[in-house]
Structure 1
Amino acid sequence: MNATTKTPVRIILASQSPRRRELLAQIGLAHEVRPADIDESVHPGEEPVPHCERLARDKAHTLALVHPDAVVIGSDTIVVIDGAILGKPRDAADAVTMLERLSGREHTVYTAVAVAQGGRTLSAVEAVRVQFRALTREQIEAYVNTGEPMDKAGAYGIQGFGATIVQRIDGDYFAVMGLPLGKLVELLVGLGYQYAFGALNA
């Protein structure tokens, strides 16, 4: 092997989210997808931000123990309004209820990201304020009928049809999609890696 040849850093995404996969591919980071099997329920008395960050850390840490050679990325996104966490809808009726609650109002999207390798785990949370435009029941039902809301926190995706129901955002667009890329790069630096615009170097 040439002395200047670098061994690629093995990256594992502890999520099956297609949006997170797309974002990592967008910045040129080749990765494996290995969803972490953890309990995502809210602990009694647990506040939204600690809950979100705990899940991201648990996802990354769990797989890092099994794959100590890899850099593992975990992430979790929640939608919060009136202090309540809106997760993924149980069914179409639940999605309609969530969207009616969000219609014409501002809510906060929290996305936590964690990076882990061996016994080290670093994490951060990005908060984004999102304003919905006012929606009629007919518009909400039509959006739910597209199927897009069913696997997304808060029952919408900003990168799809949901882009038409968002009036404005204040913060990191990519965090609303599910992976704050700026925060991710900062955490990777903290773990001892350098993002080289398309690659990760030790």
Structure 2
Amino acid sequence: MRLVLASASPARLGVLRAAGADPLVEVSDVDEDALLAAHPDAEPARKVTLLAAAKAAAVAGRIAAEHPDALVVGCDSMLHVDGELVGKPGDPDTARRRWLSMAGRTGELLTGHAVLLLAGGAVAKEAEGHAVTGVRFADPTPQELTAYLGTGEPLNVAGAFTLDGFGGWFVDGIDGDPSNVIGISLPLLRRLLGGIGVSVVDLWHPRSGVPVPSGKES
């Protein structure tokens, strides 16, 4: 079974690789703004889950011919703070405004997850869900914030921060699953996979250094 990650996020890829998997990366072409605009009244958790499902479906349709028996995982993360759901800021000015509004406060990092199991090129099973992790932000000095924005890191990540990069200096703590803040919740993904009959140990790659059963008895 080929594991396919429907995401361009190097952080998500890093989490999966560190956990023993070796996914193929296929980036979806989903118009996120259009999808969100079509569901303006959806709850925040539903919005990120809809995005994750759309990404997984788009990639599954693209790779089905070459990988007819595959497991496609789609994710989407956004930060919910002060009643607003925000994604990637995209530019330094937006990132600065977001940090000035959330510094010293608490937000919720939501990540939608969708898994599609392909058999013979068609979707045989699917599951979806979301994870929520509370994030307690520090209050960086003006000099620190300017330097952080200068790294370029916060411009293309949900909520304008990371936990596993430069942004980690400005996160006082989290309440919940840390892998979810990085972009993919391993505990949730394990439960979703179990629901469609897939064990995470079957995704562990021999190169991970973990012994993988060969099916032969000594």
- Give the TM-score of the pair, scaled to structure 2: 0.83
Q: How many residues align?
A: 193
Aligned to 1:18: 10
Instruction: Please tell me the residue identity of whatever aligns with 1:10.
Output: R
Aligned to 1:168: 173
Name structure 2 gaps, 5 residues minimum: 206-211, 214-218
Equivalents in 2 of 1:81, 1:20: separation in Å?
Answer: 22
Q: Secondary structure at the match of 2:107?
A: strand
Q: Secondary structure at the match of 2:11?
A: helix
Equivalents in 1 of 2:31, 2:127: separation in Å?
Answer: 20
Pair 196,90 (structure 1): closer, same or farther in 2 beyond 3 Å: closer
- Give the TM-score of the pair, scaled to structure 1: 0.90
Structure (1 or 2) with the greater helix fraction:
2
Alignment RMSD, CA only?
Answer: 1.7
Name structure 1 gaps, 5 residues minimum: 1-8
Aligned to 1:4: none
Kindly report structure 1 stretches of 4+ aligned residues shifted beyond 4 Å.
none
Instruction: Please tell me the residue identity of whatever aligns with 1:31.
Output: P
Equivalents in 2 of 1:98, 1:158: separation in Å?
Answer: 16
The answer to whether 1:83 aligns with 2:83 is yes
Could you tell me which of 37, 41, 47 is aligned with 1:45?
A: 41
Deviation digits for residues 142-166 of structure 1, max 9, x if unmatched? 1101111111011111101111100
**Counterpart mapping for 1:121-140 below 5 A:** 121-140=126-145
Aligned to 1:103: 103
Could you tell me which of 47, 51, 56 is aligned with 1:60?
A: 56
Q: Is the 8 A contact 1:60 1:121 kept in 2?
A: no
Equivalents in 2 of 1:106, 1:71: separation in Å?
Answer: 35
Identity of aligned residues (%): 35
